[in-house]
Amino acid sequence: MSSQLTILGIETSCDETAAAVVTRAADGHGEILGEVVLSQLEEHSAYGGVVPEIAARAHVEALDSLISEALLRSGRTLADVDAIAATSGPGLIGGLIVGLMTGKAIARATGKPLYAVNHLEGHALTARLTDGIAFPYLMLLVSGGHTQLVLVRDVDDYERWGTTIDDALGEAFDKTAKLLGLPYPGGPAVERMAKRGNAERFTFPRPLVGEARLDFSFSGLKTAVRQAAQSIEPVTEQDIADICASFQRAVSRTLKDRIGRGLERFRALYPDVATPALVVAGGVAANAELRATLQALCDKNRFRFIAPPLALCTDNAAMIAWAGLERMAVGLSADDLSVAPRSRWPLDKAAATLLGSGKRGAKA
Q: Give residues in contact with ligand KG4 (CB under 6 A).
A: 14, 143-145, 170-171, 173-174, 185-188, 191, 282-284, 286-287, 314-315, 363-364
Of 23 and 314, which CB lies nearer to ligand KG4 in the complex structure? Answer: 314
Residue in 267, 318, 335, 349 with CA at minimum distance from that of residue 128 = 318
Q: Which is nearer to ligand KG4, 121 or 335 (CB)?
A: 121
The item of Zn ion, ligand KG4, none sharing an interface with residue 186, based on CB under 5 to 8 Å by kind, is ligand KG4
191 binds, among Zn ion, ligand KG4, none (CB under 5 to 8 A by kind): ligand KG4
**Given the complex with ligand KG4, which of 75 and 356 has the nearer CB atom?**
356
- CA 339 from chain center: how many Å? 23
Nearest approach in angstroms of CB 95 to ligand KG4 is 11
Kindly state whether residue 15 participates in binding Zn ion, applying the rule CB under 5 A.
no
Q: Indicate the residue among 290 and 334 with the shorter CB distance to ligand KG4.
A: 290
Listed ranges 40-48, 141-149, 219-227, 284-292: which one lies at the site for Zn ion (CB under 5 A): 141-149
Q: Minimum distance between the CB of residue 172 and ligand KG4, rounded to whole angstroms?
A: 8
Choice between 287 and 357, CB closer to ligand KG4: 287
Figure out which of the listed residues 15, 35, 121, 315 binds Zn ion, where binding follows CB under 5 A: 315
Stretch that binds Zn ion, among 106-114, 135-143, 216-224, 248-256 (CB under 5 A): 135-143
Phi, psi of 183 (to 5 degrees): -70, 165
Nearest approach in angstroms of CB 282 to ligand KG4 is 4
Residue 364 found at the interface with Zn ion (CB under 5 A)? yes
- In this complex, which beta carbon is closest to Zn ion, that of residue 145 or of residue 207? 145
Provide, rounded to whole angstroms, the least separation between the CB of residue 78 and Zn ion. Answer: 26
Q: Report the alpha-carbon distance of residue 279 to residue 271 in Å, rounded.
A: 19
Give the nearest distance from C-beta 323 to Zn ion in angstroms. 12
Counting contacts by CB under 5 A, is residue 120 touching Zn ion? Answer: no
**Count residues contacting Zn ion (CB under 5 A)?**
3
Partner interacting with residue 167 (select from ligand KG4, Zn ion, none; CB below 5-8 Å by kind): none
Q: How far apart are CA 306 and CA 68, in angstroms?
A: 32
Residues contributing to the site for Zn ion (CB under 5 A): 143, 315, 364
